[in-house]
A and B are shown apart, each in its own frame.
Chain A
Amino acid sequence: MRKALAVAVKELRQIRRDRRTLLILLFIPAFFLFLYGYALNFDIRHVALAVQDRDDTPESRALIATFVQSTYFDWVETVTSDQEIDGLMDRGAVRALLVIPAQFAQDLRERRPTEVQVIINGDNANTATTVMGYVSAILREASARAGGPAPAAVITPQPRVWYNPELRSTLFLVPGLIAYIATITAVVSTALSIVREKEMGTMEQIRMAPISTPAYVLGKTLPYLILSQTSAVLVIIAAMLLFGLPMHGNWAALSLVLAIFLVGGLGTGLLVSTVAETQQMALQMSMLIAFLPTFILSGFIFPIASMPLPLQYITTIVPSRYFLVALRGIVLKGSTLSMVWQPIAALALYAAAVLGLSAVRLARE
């Protein structure tokens, strides 16, 4: 135990002098959060809209006003001839075009069904779908105001979205970012610090000394556990300040989940270090077995439920998947530990598995 402490003290002294590592551990995470937090935003506002108003009546202008006042659309162009339309779309000057027919006001007054045409740029299918949703909602509202026929259905949905009433995608994405960032700090810092010792030859010196493998690993990883835990908490606080991430659960539960997840990450880094001989190789391996799955297979961006079945099975061994469930649960829903015991157990299982595997590999060396 005293020997593990000697290793930990040495490691902390090294980290303190190694500005690059310190930077990677403490500031890059916050920077990433800032960058991705603003870049990764699926909410679409201020869609550039062109309008061709063939009616030019108070009714048609009221409809345009509804679009603009929704703040989802910015009225940037007015089209007078059909020839202009193609050019506007091609240049990318507008994403959507609203065409109001000539007899629009008259149809309304005579209570005849009328049609307005909406053309949407479909080069980005996600954006197009979202814009279409906005358009339908606005037209439904306008139709009701114009005294249109009551909906045919007797049962009308009154949806209420809990935990994220405004459906802000940021609230959904930030926990994913936290998982991503915590993975980087835990996996990479551990893998690099051990592989660096291999490269420098100090590893050989340590193996010639009477220190047991568990004591060495403990001394080596403990400083990084403390650092990455601190870094993760800083990122969460930053997410609250920058993106209004709520905290409905309690900090103790969050810290526990975080710690178990990070131990798994350190174990992954350790496993990488038993295979990689150079720092570059360690970085590439971490990329492959930790970053990519966290990005693609954890439900961070792409919902697991909509993946092909074989991929869904693969996600069951991606620890970030469970971390996200627990983190979103605690932060957004205020879940208690007993509610998220399953993902926590999965994380603990993962940590035990990678640590066990690393121990076997270390013993064989």
Chain B
Amino acid sequence: MSQDVAIAVEHLTRRFGEFTAVDDVTFDVRRGEVFGFLGANGAGKSTTIRMLCGLLKPSAGAARVDGIDVGRDPEGVKRRIGYMSQRFSLYELLTVDQNIRFYAGLYGLAGARLETRRSFVLEMAGLAGREKTLARNLSGGWRQRLALGCALLHEPPIVFLDEPTGGVDPVSRREFWRLIDDLSQHGTTVLVTTHYLDEAERCDRVAIIHAGRLAALGTIAELKATFRDRPILEIRSADSVAAMTALDRLPFVEKTSLFGTAVHAVLRSARTTVDDVREALAGAHVQVASVQPVVASLEDVFLEVVDRQRERSAA
């Protein structure tokens, strides 16, 4: 295993009875990388993370986290990772300071190191001077940053963030991602699961999980490259459903999907023009407000990947 790989996952599989939650997943996460884990609820994200954190034994395959085999030495893994979930696991009846001291105690921090780390966390979360506030009285953004701080107390080289921005306002979310970038710049590896696609765009690389399988993996640019020869048009119409039905009948449209009130149509070839589509829709008597080409978003990629995965499973 090379020095610059933080997490190495090989053919990782987890079955619960008949059900296979994670199915033969293989990928590497490099040191200092912000690695996004994208997938619908129940796709297998959490099960994968639980195996990587040493909470769940793999049914087959292996994973090494910071060089430690998760199946053989789960306790060794726990010492090397930080973990924070969307529930911001803080004790509401304890103060900011008492929460920090408790989690420091769990990781065996004491003395001078405890004091340094405590100030670091207070500083990072912007909670210096509010040590005596009850966690219950903190708003979402503060709690989120305090929870992250508690997960970083023991200076883990690898941090797992399980949907860390759930229920937090947009400003706090942006601030939180600035902290993640900061961590990554200081060499900490961050594996973050999310279903916010705009957040996934901020990751160095993204893995898309669907139905327990790794459906796609790469940088955002790499993932979007799949649409290089297949332009995407955005069609706005008073009757989106009628527009979609009409588009689906056109031979040069590969597929359509609904994006808010607009319809996205993936064309089979770059030779088809906006005017071709406009004419065809007029021929089908669909009133159209606008038709214009758009840059592929991660959502387009996600839907494409899921579709392809579904076709593969059906075949």
Contact = CB atoms under 8 A, between A and B. Distances in A.
A207 B77 CA distance: 12
Contacts of A208: 53, 55, 78, 81, 83
Contacts of A151: none
A18 B91 CA distance: 12
Nearest to B147: A205
Contact of B89 (A2, A5, A13, A204): A204
A17 interface: yes
Choose among A14, A200, A208 the residue with the greatest number of B CB atoms under 10 Å from its CB.
Answer: A208
B87 A204 contact: yes
Contacts of B125: none
B90 A13 contact: no
A17 B55 CA distance: 31
Contact of A2 (B81, B91, B108, B134): B108
Contacts of B75: 210
B85 A210 contact: no
Contact of B93 (A6, A17, A201): A17
A3 interface: yes
Nearest to B106: A209
A202 interface: yes
B295 interface: no
Interface string B95-114: 00010011111111010000
Contacts of A13: 93-94, 98
A211 B89 contact: no
Contact of B94 (A5, A14, A206): A14
Interface in B7-34: none
Contacts of B92: 200
Interface residues of B, number: 27
Contacts of B83: 205, 208
A2 B93 contact: no
Contacts of A18: 93
A201 B106 contact: no
Contacts of B91: 10, 14, 200, 202
A206 B106 contact: yes
Contacts, number: 68
Nearest to B99: A10
A357 interface: no
Contacts of B89: 200-202, 204-205
B192 to A, nearest CB: 15
A6 B94 contact: no
A9 B101 CA distance: 10
B132 interface: no
A329 B210 CA distance: 66
Given A202-B91, A208-B55, A209-B78, A6 B106 contact: yes
Given A2-B105, A201-B89, A202-B91, A207 B98 contact: no
A17 B101 CA distance: 17
Nearest to A19: B93
**Interface size of A as a range:** 20 to 34
Contact of A10 (B55, B88, B98, B110): B98
Contacts of B85: 201, 204-205
B163 to A, nearest CB: 12
A206 B105 CA distance: 11
Interface in B171-221: none
A154 B103 CA distance: 81
A6 B75 CA distance: 18
Choose among A14, A202, A206 the residue with the greatest number of B CB atoms under 10 Å from its CB.
Answer: A202
B228 interface: no
A2 B81 CA distance: 20
Given A13-B94, A208-B83, A3 B55 contact: no
A227 to B, nearest CB: 16
Interface string A189-232: 00000000000111011111111000000000000000000000
A6 B90 CA distance: 15
Given A10-B94, A14-B94, A17-B93, A210 B110 contact: no
A50 to B, nearest CB: 61
B69 to A, nearest CB: 16
Interface in B65-89: 75, 78-79, 81, 83, 85, 87-89
Given A200-B89, A202-B89, A204-B87, A6 B81 contact: no
Contacts of B110: 2
Interface string A7-25: 1011001100110000000
A201 B78 CA distance: 17
B102 A10 contact: yes
A209 B55 contact: no
A3 B94 contact: no
Contacts of A211: 106
A346 to B, nearest CB: 37
A6 B87 contact: no
Interface string B269-284: 0000000000000000
B149 to A, nearest CB: 13
Interface of A: 2-3, 5-7, 9-10, 13-14, 17-18, 200-202, 204-211
Interface of B: 53, 55, 75, 78-79, 81, 83, 85, 87-94, 98, 101-108, 110, 134
